[in-house]
Chains A and B, each alone.
Chain A
Amino acid sequence: MMVKFIGKRVAYAVLTLFLITTATFFLVAAAPGDPIAAKVGQMPEQAQEIINEKYGFDKPVTTRYIMYMKNLLTTGDFGESIVYTGKSANDIIKDNTLVSAKIGLMALVFQVVIGVLLGMISALNRGKPVDHMIRVLVVLAICVPSFVFASLLQYFLAFKWKLVPVFGWGELRHYVLPVAAYAIGGIASYTKYMRSSTLSVIGEDYIVTAKAKGCGKGRVVRKHVLRNSMIPIVTMIGPALAGIFGGSFIIEKMFSIPGLGFYYVKAVSDNDYTMVIGLTIFFALLFVASLIVVDILYGIVDPRIRVAKGSK
C-alpha cells in the first residue's frame, strides 16, 4: 500500500515538475525586456550574432525549448547565465543551497521549539498574566511583516548596541540576525496553534482519566498533553519544511546573505533568463520532493493517517 502510494506521489511530482519547467520556459521567453539586447547593444554585429547563437536566441522558442530540455535531461545542466558570463545556475545551486538550508532549518527549529514551549505555557496558565502577555506578543508578532522585524533587529542589535555585526558572512555570529528575523513570525504562529491545540487536549476525557488514575501533573503534561497537542503542529511542520527555501528571500536580500533566494531575486531583477529558469526548476524540485517526504513522514508520525490511507 505504502509503495503504491509513494509511486503515485512520485509520478504526480514528475508531471508537476515537467509542467512547471515547460510553463516557466515559455513564460520567461515571453517576458518583456531583452537581456541580450542590453548586453550586446554596443558590440559589433558579428559579436552579437555569435552571442545570440550561443544562447540559441536566433532560433524559435520551441526549438530552444527542445534543446534546453534535451540538455537538461541528459547532462543536468541548467545553462550559462546571460548576465554573468561563465557562471551557470548549477554553480549557484552547488555553492549556495547549503547556506539557505542552514538558515531555514535553524529558523524552523527555533520556531517549533520556542513556539511549542510558549504555547504550552500559555495554555496551561490560561487566564493568568503569563497567558495574556504571551497572547499579546503573539498577535503583535503576527501583525508585523518579517522585513520590519529584520530592520528593527538590524537597527537595534547591530547598529545601536553593536552586539552583532551588521553585514558579513561565514561565522556563527552572522547567523544571529537573519535566523532571529526569520524565526519570529513562525514562533508566533506555532505558539498560537499550540495554545489552542493544548487547550482542546486538556479538555479530553483521557486527560481526566490520567489524572483520576493518580498521574502526576508533570507526567500528564509530558506524556498525554504534549504528545497529543503536538499532532497538529507536526502537520504544520511539513509545509514549513517545504517552504524553507522560498521563505528566506527577503531575509537573504536584506542581510546580503549569499543564499539561493538572494541570487534568485537578483536574477529576476537582472532579467537573467537562464538563471531564473534554472533556479525556478530547482526550487520546484526541492518543494515537490519535500512535499513527498512530508507525506511519508505523516504516515509514520500519526498512525491514524496511516490507517485512513490503508482503508481507502
Chain B
Amino acid sequence: MEENVKMNMEDFSLTDDLFVRVGTEGLSGEEIGRKSLTYWADVWRRFRSNKLALLGMFLLIGVVVLLFTGPLISGKDYQFIDASLKNISPCAEHWFGTDDMGRDLFTRVCVGGRISIYIGLCCTLVMFVIGALLGALAGLKGGLVDDVIMRICEFIGNLPYLIIVVILSMVMGRSLFSLVFAMSLTAWVGTARMVRGQILQIKEQDYVQAAKALGADTGRIIMKHLLPNTLGIIMVDITMSVPGFIFSEAFLSYIGLGVKPPETSWGALASAGQQQLMFYPYQLFFPCLLIVLTILSFHLIGDGLSDALDPKLRQ
C-alpha cells in the first residue's frame, strides 16, 4: 500500500485521461426524460390506473348506449299496448317481460331511462351554471355582492328541500320543465358555497400572488389559475349530483308528482313495478337494476375522479 502511494507520488503528472468523466457515458442528465404532463393529462393518467373508475366509465357508456339503441334492437314501441300479452315473464320475445298493460318492458326501461338521465343531466347543468357563476361572483367580488349572494344562499338553505319540490311540482303541473325547475331551484346553493370557498382559498395562494406580481391581468388569472383549480371539485360534485337528481326524480314519480304518462321514467316504472311485486317481481327488478347500474357507475367515476384530482385524498 505504502509502496503504491509512494510510487504514485513519484510519477505524478497531470494527464488528460485523469479528467475523463466516469460513468456518465450515454446518459443525458439535462434532458427531460418524459414529456411533462399537463394537469388534466395527469388526472387522466391517475384516473385511468383506477380500475374501478374505469369500470364505472365503461358501465355508464354501456348503459347509455343501451338506452339509445335498445328500442331499435327490440323493434318495439314503448307505448304499444297489447292486451293479450299482459304480465309475460322475460322471454326471447320480450327480454324484460311485459307490464300489466302488455307493453314491452325492455323498451319502456330504455325510453324511461333516457328521461331519467335527461332530467339528472338537466338539473345538474342548471345547478352547476347558476351555482358556479354566483359562487365565483361572490368569491371574486367580495363585499356587498358577496353578502347579498350569501344571504340568498342562507335563505334557500333554510328551506325544506323536499317540501319545496313537492309544492312546486303541484303548482306548476306535471311536466319535465317543472320537475327540472323544482329540483334545481334549491340545489345550486351547495355548488355556489363550494365554488366561493374554493375561490376565496385559491385567491390568496402564493402562485396567484406571483402571477399578479408578474403582471397577469384578472382574465388570465381566472382562466389559468382559478378555473382549472376549481374545475376539479366541481367535476366531482357534478358526477355525484346526477345520481342524486335521478333519485329525486324516482321519488317524485313514486309519489305521483313526477313524469306524467304516457311518458315514463325509471321512477315511474319502479313505482308501477312495486304494485305488482307480489306476483311479478321482475317488473320491479329490471327498472331497479338499471337505476342501480347507472348510479353505481356515477359513484365509481366520482370516486375515481376525486382520487385522481386530489392525491391527498388517496389513502
* Chain A contact residues, CB within 8 Å of chain B: 12-13, 16, 19-20, 24, 27-28, 30-32, 126, 139-140, 142-145, 147-148, 151, 154-155, 159, 196, 199-200, 242-243, 246-247, 249-250, 253-254, 264-265, 268-269, 271, 276, 280, 283-284, 287-288, 291
A272–B167 Cα gap in the complex (Å)?
12
Do B167 and A280 have beta carbons less than 8 Å apart?
yes
Report the number of A-B residue pairs with Cβ-Cβ less than 8 Å. 108
* Chain B contact residues, CB within 8 Å of chain A: 154-155, 158-163, 166-168, 170-171, 173, 243, 247, 250-251, 254-257, 267, 270-271, 274, 277-278, 281, 284, 288, 291-292, 295-296, 299-300, 315
* The residue from B155, B162, B278, B300 contacting A16, defined by CB atoms under 8 A apart: B155
Minimum CB–CB distance for A241 against chain B, Å:
13
Closest 3 CB pairs of A and B: A287-B160, A246-B162, A143-B295
Among residues of A, the one whose C-beta sits closest to the C-beta of B162 is A246
Do A284 and B292 have beta carbons less than 8 Å apart?
no
* The residue from B173, B274, B315 contacting A199, defined by CB atoms under 8 A apart: B315
Do B288 and A148 have beta carbons less than 8 Å apart?
yes
A159–B281 Cα gap in the complex (Å)?
12
Interface of A is mostly: helix
A145–B269 Cα gap in the complex (Å)?
13
Minimum CB–CB distance for B314 against chain A, Å:
11
Chain A residues contacting B274 (CB-CB under 8 Å) are 147, 151, 254
Do B154 and A12 have beta carbons less than 8 Å apart?
yes
Do B163 and A196 have beta carbons less than 8 Å apart?
no
Do B277 and A154 have beta carbons less than 8 Å apart?
yes
Do A12 and B315 have beta carbons less than 8 Å apart?
no
Chain A residues contacting B271 (CB-CB under 8 Å) are 147
**Most A-side CB within 10 Å, residue of B168, B247, B255, B274:** B255
Do A145 and B163 have beta carbons less than 8 Å apart?
no
A268–B173 Cα gap in the complex (Å)?
12
A289–B89 Cα gap in the complex (Å)?
50
A142–B296 Cα gap in the complex (Å)?
8
If A145-B247, A155-B281 touch, whether A265 touches B255 (CB-CB below 8 Å) is: yes
Chain B residues contacting A19 (CB-CB under 8 Å) are 155
Do A250 and B315 have beta carbons less than 8 Å apart?
no
A291–B251 Cα gap in the complex (Å)?
24
Do B163 and A283 have beta carbons less than 8 Å apart?
yes
Chain B residues contacting A265 (CB-CB under 8 Å) are 166, 255-256
Chain B residues contacting A264 (CB-CB under 8 Å) are 166
A268–B243 Cα gap in the complex (Å)?
26
Give 7 A-B contacts (CB < 8 Å), ordered by A residue.
A27-B168, A143-B292, A145-B291, A148-B270, A246-B160, A253-B255, A265-B256
Do A12 and B158 have beta carbons less than 8 Å apart?
yes
Chain B residues contacting A276 (CB-CB under 8 Å) are 167, 170
Chain B residues contacting A287 (CB-CB under 8 Å) are 158-160, 163
